[in-house]
Amino acid sequence: MVPPQPGVLESPAVGQAFRAFVARTTDAGTRGAAEELTLDALPAGEVTIAVEYSSLNYKDALAATGQNKVAASYPHVPGIDAAGTVAASSDPAWTPGTRVLVTGFEFGAPRWGGWARYARVPSAWVVRIPDTLSTFEAMAIGTAGFTAALAVEALARNGTTPDSGPIVVTGATGGVGCLAVDMFARAGYRVLAVTGKADRHDWLRMLGASEILPREAVSLANEAKPRPLLPTRWAGALDNVGGATLEALVRGTQIGGNVALCGLVGGADYRGTVMPFILRGVGLLGITSSNTAMPVRQHLWQRLATDLRPRHLADVARTVPLEALPDEIDRMLAGQAFGRVVVPLA
């Protein structure tokens, strides 16, 4: 895939119009569409970024449709990711023309985000893009890849290595999941990818999955009184689902193994038992990407540009213009999306 080339950097001026995706609430509900904004509409912040690419994440889909109180108010510009160049800055640490990215914090939720040609943010949120990554590649990775990298590093730090045994990745066709399959496989792990999408099995194997598991094989949803421990089947896991899937993962993890949790698409409730923790020493590792400290962000983005760089970004990411985002949002909320959607703004 050859990504579209970004436009020439323009010096922003008050009153200058630019394209953005704006979600608005009416009597018919909350929906978004492409329209024009001006720079004076942007929130306060030290750094104005000329955005070249953003991406579509599950939280963006919620913000664009008024769900879960993700956005603080409407109208709202979603987009929890953005990559581009500094257009203006009152902080001398960020000079115009510097290539930067923003993910997490309050960007896109609840604050206005990256689905616009220009975004304005606090300077403390800004990360310099490593020289070996393009702005397109930075957004093909985005929050999803950053979250996956946090999990890869957390599992290794807590003793789950490629020699420990297989790693389960749930929600494997989603943004976090597919990039995690790629990263774990690149790092030498044997990856068990969990998905309900039969048409994505070959795609997941191409990304590095050694085995494909159906969703029901890693779930306690149909068990009213599940056993406190299950036969050990894996050394660790990255769970994007939560709920009954997390219950099965923890109870089936081997002695000294670890489960990294970063999602809740299957539910926020957890019927826990202490047995896996006190009898097998299983570790449950929480992964938060939006609240990650800046030194960790800088460290991980360097790894994402080098040893953790996904090998199959061209097979994972595709571009979708602002005007086509409503259909992509509907597909994501219906559970029909896969891979990464990159949004060109330049």
Quick one: what percent of the chain has pLDDT higher than 90?
Answer: 90
Domain count, the chain: 2
Assess whether 199 and 101 both reside in one domain: no
For residues 182 and 216, membership in a common domain is answered with yes
154 and 273 assigned to the same domain? yes
- Residue 40 makes CB contacts below 8 A (sequence gap 6+) with 14, 15
Domain containing 42 equals 17-132+312-344
**266 in the same domain as 163:** yes
Which residue, 241, 270, 286, sits at the end of a domain? 286
Residue 11 lies in a domain: no
Residue 242: helix, strand or coil by DSSP?
strand
Report the mean per-residue pLDDT for the chain. 94
Domain check: are 100 and 184 in the same one?
A: no
Which of 8-12, 300-304, 312-316 has the weakest average pLDDT? Answer: 8-12
Instruction: Say whether both 124 and 38 belong to one domain.
Output: yes
Q: With 0.85 as the threshold, say if the pTM is over it.
A: yes
The CATH number given to whatever domain includes residue 222 is 3.40.50.720
Task: Count the helix, strand and coil residues of the chain and give each as a percent rounded to the nearest 5.
Answer: 30, 25, 40
15-36 residues labelled b (16+ CB within 10 A) or e (exposed): eeebbbbbbeeeeeebebebee
Same structural domain for residues 281 and 160? yes
Residue 26 is which amino acid? T
137 in a structural domain: no
Residue 10 maps to a domain: no
| Residue 187 is assigned to a structural domain of this protein | yes
User: What does residue 86 show for φ and ψ, rounded to 5 degrees?
Assistant: -65, 125
Q: What is the pLDDT of residues 105-160, one digit of tens each?
A: 999 999 999 999 999 999 999 999 999 999 999 999 999 999 999 999 999 999 99
Beta-strand runs (E) in the chain: 17-26, 29-38, 47-56, 81-89, 99-103, 118-121, 127-128, 167-169, 191-194, 211-213, 234-239, 253-261, 283-286, 317-319, 340-344
Helices assigned H by DSSP within 187-317: 201-207, 243-251, 275-279, 294-304, 313-316
Is residue 291 domain-resident?
A: no
Q: What is the bridge-based pairing of β-strands 253-261 and 283-286?
A: parallel
Q: What does the pLDDT look like over 41-84, one tens digit per residue?
A: 999 999 999 999 999 999 999 999 999 899 999 999 999 999 99
Q: What CATH number is associated with residue 59?
A: 3.90.180.10
151 plus 91 within the same structural domain = no
Q: Are 186 and 208 in contact (CB under 8 A)?
A: yes
> Per residue in 191-249, pLDDT tens?
999 999 999 999 999 999 999 999 999 999 888 888 999 999 999 999 999 999 999 99
Q: How far is the C-alpha of 54 from the C-alpha of 322, rounded, in Å?
A: 10
Instruction: Answer yes or no: are the C-beta atoms of 133 and 157 closer than 8 Å.
Output: no
- Asked if the structure places residue 303 within a domain, the reply is no
Task: Tell me the backbone φ, ψ of residue 54, rounded to 5 degrees.
Answer: -130, -165
Which residue's structure tokens are 């993962």? 249
In a domain, 100, yes or no: yes
User: Residue 294 pLDDT more than 90?
Assistant: yes
Whether residues 111 and 92 fall in one domain? yes
213 plus 189 within the same structural domain: yes
Domain match, 107 and 202 both: no
- Tokens representing 218 are 């890693």
220 lies in the same domain as 109: no
For residue 320, is it within any domain? yes
